[in-house]
């Protein structure tokens, strides 16, 4: 199973939030003047703390760009880090390789540290004519046009757990749930740069690919998206033109502005993409609502997903939440049973990674109570239970809902959505190929 994974891969520098350490960074004068909010960008350590405290206060996740390398260096020097593979495409490629697929990864700034984190089955093209080699280091001069790009790209990930507390002056902030905040300085991935070997290899061998997993669009800055998106959409469309049967899934993320997301969704119709993945906040923004304003009940989520699928003319739209994954798709390519099997594999893989640190580990047995309640209510509304999930035939559409599994003491909170997406996609590709 040959799968393209684009566009972003990097090193994640991970910090497990320690309340006392963060509190020590917040002076009394800073606490009295600090406005706890999500900034449009990070220009200082104070901006970083403001964003982190906001996410912890809400129990939400976010990814915000760092404005300069100097600020990034200040942040790097302020905390003790653990390093692991990051970037949507990189994480997905590793998951796919672990499941037995042959992912071909775009990696325009692939340094020694990153190479050591890639699964042996992940292929990075080193030429356009030869077969893709495994984890080849390619630091070509034309891929490092300025000093920033010669530095291995690192994203700063702040993981926090439910109950973590931080003192901010007279206030105490306690996280209501597990989540993470990401601060990113990355001139390679924010421009969705691609290796010239990757570009030529994919185009010349596109007829041999079964699918393409696309992500990382959310990292593009507001000032540059109108220039960058059309270039990437043209590349992806060239793949689809040469191989109409390739199954293309585009995964969304935390965009700087709803305007960027809206623009991308319209461009995806030009490819055309087959499948779209997003969370509930991104779904709200796709509907033209402010993030977090979409009702949390599964019925409203389902209706919004149905509207989005129809308006974009897609085969499938999937919404992944903390509690469940819900998909709406047209009949034909995948049966309800096959889709539920894919969603179950995705939720199992994400839960296994959270609980054990490994995607191939043993997933926990506890089913998310909110997701389970949604499934039961779904069944009372006419859906048919099948395994842990349920499905409903509704006209030309099939709606599937799969509750998540719950890791009581998660070891990892970053990359769970990418892990679920990749595992679901792999099982869907197998079903499409068999059918």
Is there a single domain that holds both residue 180 and residue 327?
no
Confidence of residue 149 (pLDDT cuts 50, 70, 90): very low
Cis check for the bond before 272: say yes or no (omega within 30 of 0).
yes
Domain that includes residue 390, residue range: 321-435
Tell me the average pLDDT across 371-400: 97
Distance CA 302, CA 331 (A): 16
Question: pLDDT category, 127, cuts 50, 70, 90?
Answer: low
Q: Is the pLDDT of residue 139 over 90?
A: no
The domain tally of the chain equals: 2
Angle between helices 196-204 and 225-242 (to 10 degrees): 30
Q: Is residue 362 part of a domain?
A: yes
The answer to the question of residue 430 being in a domain is yes
**pLDDT of 150 over the 80 cut:** no
The answer to whether the CB of 160 falls within 8 A of the CB of 175 is yes
Q: Which of 137-141, 211-215, 333-337, 376-380 has the lowest mean pLDDT?
A: 137-141
The reported pLDDT for the residue numbered 209 is 98
Q: Whose CA is closest to 64, among 156, 150, 194?
A: 156
Domain C-terminal end among 166, 184, 202: 184
The pLDDT, as a whole number, for residue 275 is 98
The average pLDDT across 28-34 equals 72
pLDDT of residue 306: 96
382 found inside a domain: yes
Point out the domain boundary residue: 163, 184, 205.
184
- What's the CA gap between 425 and 345, in Å, rounded? 10
Q: Is residue 189 part of a domain?
A: no
Of the two residues 28 and 213, the one the predictor is more confident about is 213
Output the pTM of the full model.
Answer: 0.86
Q: Which of 63-72, 224-233, 240-249, 260-269 has the lowest mean pLDDT?
A: 63-72
What is the domain-level CATH number for residue 62?
3.30.1110.20
Name the helix (H) or strand (E) containing 425.
helix 416-434
Contact 36, 124 (CB under 8 A): no
Assigned domain for 2 exists: no
Instruction: Read off the tokens for 232.
Output: 């990437």
What is the three-class DSSP state of 240?
helix
Radius of gyration of the chain (CA): 21
Q: Is 237 part of a structural domain of the chain?
A: no
Question: Is residue 136 domain-resident?
Answer: no
At 310-367, the pLDDT tens digits run: 999 999 999 999 899 999 999 999 999 999 999 999 999 999 999 999 998 999 999 9
Q: How confident is the model at residue 99 (pLDDT cuts 50, 70, 90)?
A: very high
In this prediction, residues 266-286 reach a mean pLDDT of 94
374 — pLDDT class (breaks 50, 70, 90):
very high
Mean pLDDT of 12-41: 86
Q: What is the pLDDT of residues 203-258, one digit of tens each?
A: 999 999 999 999 999 999 999 999 999 999 999 999 999 999 999 999 999 888 89
pLDDT at residue 29, rounded to an integer: 62
pLDDT tens, position by position, 410-433: 888 778 999 999 999 999 999 999
In a domain, 157, yes or no: yes
What is the rounded average pLDDT of the residues 300-307?
94
């Amino acid at each position: 199973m040959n799968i393209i994974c684009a566009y972003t891969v990097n090193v994640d520098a991970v910090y497990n939030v320690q309340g006392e350490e963060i509190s020590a960074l917040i002076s009394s004068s800073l606490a009295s003047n600090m406005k706890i909010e999500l900034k449009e960008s990070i220009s200082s350590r104070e901006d970083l703390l403001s964003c982190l405290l906001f996410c912890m206060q809400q129990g939400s996740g976010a990814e915000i760009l760092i404005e300069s390398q100097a600020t990034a260096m200040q942040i790097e020097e302020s905390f003790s880090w653990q390093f692991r593979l990051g970037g949507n495409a990189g994480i997905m490629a590793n998951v796919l390789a672990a499941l037995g697929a042959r992912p071909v990864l775009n990696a325009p700034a692939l340094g020694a540290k990153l190479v050591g984190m890639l699964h042996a089955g992940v292929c990075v093209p080193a030429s356009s004519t030869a077969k893709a080699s495994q984890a080849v280091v390619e630091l070509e001069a034309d891929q490092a046009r300025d000093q920033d790009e010669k530095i291995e790209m690192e994203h700063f990930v702040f993981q926090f757990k439910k109950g973590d507390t931080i003192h901010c002056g007279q206030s105490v902030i306690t996280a209501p749930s597990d989540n993470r905040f990401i601060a990113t300085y990355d001139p390679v991935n924010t421009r969705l740069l691609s290796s010239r070997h990757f570009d030529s290899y994919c185009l010349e061998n596109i007829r041999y690919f079964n699918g393409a997993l696309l992500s990382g669009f959310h990292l593009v800055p507001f000032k540059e998206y109108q220039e960058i998106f059309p270039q990437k959409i043209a590349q992806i469309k060239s793949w689809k033109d040469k191989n109409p049967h390739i199954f293309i899934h585009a995964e969304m993320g935390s965009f700087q502005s709803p305007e960027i997301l809206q623009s991308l969704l319209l461009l995806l119709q030009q490819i055309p993409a087959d499948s779209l993945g997003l969370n509930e906040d991104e779904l709200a923004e796709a509907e033209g609502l402010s993030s977090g304003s979409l009702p949390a009940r599964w019925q409203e989520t389902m209706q919004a997903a149905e509207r989005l699928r129809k308006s974009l003319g897609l085969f499938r739209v999937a919404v992944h939440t903390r509690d469940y994954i819900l998909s709406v798709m047209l009949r034909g390519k995948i049966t309800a049973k096959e889709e539920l099997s894919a969603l179950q594999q995705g939720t199992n893989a994400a839960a296994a990674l959270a609980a054990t640190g490994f995607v191939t580990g043993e997933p926990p047995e506890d089913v998310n109570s909110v997701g389970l309640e949604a499934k039961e209510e779904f069944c009372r509304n006419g859906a048919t239970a099948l395994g842990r999930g349920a499905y409903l035939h509704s006209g030309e559409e099939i709606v599937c809902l799969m509750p998540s599994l719950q890791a009581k003491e998660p070891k990892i909170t970053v990359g769970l959505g990418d892990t679920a997406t990749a595992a679901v996609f792999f099982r869907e590709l197998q079903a499409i190929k068999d059918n």
